[in-house]
Amino acid sequence: MKIWGRRNSANVKKVLWAAEELGLPYEQIDAGGAFGIVSTPDYLARNPNGLVPLLEDGDLTLWESNTIVRYLAARYGAGTLWIADPGARAEAEKWMDWSHQFAAPFREVIFGLLRTPPEKRNLAAIEGGRVAVARLFGIADAALATTPWLSGPAFGIADIVLGPFAYVWMELAIERPDHPHLADWYRRLQTRPTWPTAVAIGLS
**Separation of alpha carbons 85 and 26, rounded Å:** 28
* Below-50 pLDDT ranges, the chain: none
Residue range 138-197, pLDDT digits in tens: 999 999 999 999 999 999 999 999 999 999 999 999 999 999 999 999 999 999 999 999
State whether residue 57 is helix, strand or coil. Answer: strand
Domains annotated for the chain, with CATH where assigned, are 2-76 (3.40.30.10), 86-198 (1.20.1050.10)
pLDDT at residue 98, as a whole number = 97
Helix (H) or strand (E) holding 63: strand 60-63
pLDDT at residue 204, as a whole number = 84
DSSP string, 44-80: HHH-TT--S-EEEETTEEEESHHHHHHHHHHHH-BTT
Helix (H) or strand (E) holding 170: helix 157-171
pLDDT at residue 127, as a whole number = 97
- Which residues are 28's β-sheet partners? 3
**Separation of alpha carbons 27 and 4, rounded Å:** 8
pLDDT at residue 172, as a whole number = 94
